[in-house]
């Protein structure tokens, strides 16, 4: 069975794991610090704070926005953790409709949903295709709103030659097992604000003033001493994850290029098929292609057919405002409500072979002749 997603690991990751195991320092330590510095440099920001998931990153980012009892403009077309993070902070998600082509949040709908209770906008770069950030930042500036980029799908992607995660006030990344940069699990927060960075480092380590490695590294007489300054969380990354992350970061551009090659092959094969709509890529976007999603009126039938042929597929996503716990928040999202019923995610990962890609293409074309 060909999977939808699969991490791309080899002997380099295995070799990198020797360092933390040999040193005996496998928790939050020097390798995590190195990963943070190199990731910040890659994204083009001053600071990066490593966490154990994008969910944790979003939770902390919104915590700093002080959104309790305030509204956050968000999309229904995302993994549920995006909107759970709003509720973790006692905020109010305002589900805002999407464009039918890119599946990203619709800028005109953002404008309609802003009230005097709005505090922030979350931009989910769906599938690794950037939202139109200039227009969103213009709105944010006009209404004095914060912008959080959810870059779970977009690591290495760009908007007008700027790396995703470097454009809003804060960027939140996922290093989950199936993401473009995979550490098994993990996340990162990016920012150019020194004060935000300092607060995040405390919050990800239970509100403690200095983490264990920081105290050990300075080798002070009272290295055991620390203060607890806030109610924080155990959201830090380990050096085991960071060791994998450093290797994956070096390979990220080449892995994303392979994703683009496969996606281009799919698009060239399916763009003339009458019952398939291929993804739209805007000129301003350099898509990271976390996933490749087609639209078809035969979604369910095609899914069953491909499963029978040994090809896994997925649906990304059921709109969040369709889930029972989110129905109370309502919102009018007719495009999202309609388009999700047509979405089907095809296999896409760097190690997918050309022969498998061709087999997938041929199998899909034979579905309706």
Active-site positions? 179
DSSP state of 104: P
Q: Are 191 and 201 in contact (CB under 8 A)?
A: no
**Helix H segments across the chain?**
11-16, 18-23, 30-43, 54-65, 81-88, 107-113, 133-143, 194-203, 212-218, 239-270, 299-308, 334-339, 354-365
Torsion of CA 13, 16, 20, 26, to 10 degrees: -30
Alpha helices in 271-322 (DSSP H): 299-308
Residue 183: CB atoms within 10 Å: 29
b/e 111-125 (16+ beta carbons within 10 angstroms → b): eebbeeebbbbbbbb
DSSP of 170-181: EEEEE--TTSSS
The SS3 of residue 166 is coil
Token pair recorded at residue 149: 């980029």
Could you tell me the CA-to-CA distances from 318 to 174, 281, 367 in Å, in that order?
20, 22, 24
Closest to 104 measured CA to CA, from 134, 139, 129, 73: 129
């Amino acid at each position: 069975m060909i999977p939808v997603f699969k991490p791309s690991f080899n002997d380099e990751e295995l070799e990198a794991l020797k360092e933390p195991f040999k040193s005996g320092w496998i928790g939050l330590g020097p390798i995590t610090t190195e990963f943070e510095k190199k990731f910040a440099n890659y994204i083009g920001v001053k600071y990066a704070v490593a966490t154990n998931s994008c969910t944790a990153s979003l939770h902390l980012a919104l915590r700093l926005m002080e959104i309790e009892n305030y509204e956050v403009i968000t999309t229904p077309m995302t993994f549920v953790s995006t909107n759970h993070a709003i509720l973790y902070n006692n905020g109010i998600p305002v589900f805002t409709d999407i464009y039918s082509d890119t599946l990203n949040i619709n800028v005109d709908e953002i404008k309609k949903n802003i009230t005097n209770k709005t505090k922030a906008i979350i931009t989910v770069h769906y599938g690794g295709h950037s939202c139109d950030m200039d227009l969103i930042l213009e709105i944010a500036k006009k209404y004095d709103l914060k912008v959080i980029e959810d870059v779970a799908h977009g690591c290495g992607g760009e908007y007008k030659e700027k790396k995703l995660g470097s454009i809003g006030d804060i960027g939140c990344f996922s290093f989950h097992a199936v993401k473009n940069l995979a550490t098994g699990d993990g996340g990162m927060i990016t920012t150019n604000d020194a004060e935000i960075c300092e607060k995040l480092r405390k919050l990800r380590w239970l509100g403690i003033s200095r983490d264990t490695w920081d105290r050990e590294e300075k080798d002070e007489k009272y290295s055991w001493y620390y203060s607890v300054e806030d109610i924080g969380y155990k959201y830090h990354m380990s050096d085991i994850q960071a060791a994998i992350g450093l290797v994956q970061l070096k390979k990220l551009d080449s892995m994303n290029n392979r994703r683009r090659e496969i996606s281009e092959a799919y698009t060239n094969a399916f763009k003339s098929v009458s019952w398939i709509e291929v993804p739209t890529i805007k000129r301003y976007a350099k898509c990271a292609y976390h996933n490749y999603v087609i639209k078809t009126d035969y979604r369910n039938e095609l899914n069953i057919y491909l499963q029978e042929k040994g090809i896994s597929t997925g649906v990304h996503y059921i709109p969040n405002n369709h889930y029972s716990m989110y129905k109370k928040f309502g919102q009018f999202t007719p495009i999202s409500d309609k388009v999700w019923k047509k979405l089907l995610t095809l296999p896409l990962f760097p190690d997918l072979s050309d022969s498998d890609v061709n087999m997938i293409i041929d199998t899909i074309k034979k579905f309706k002749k």
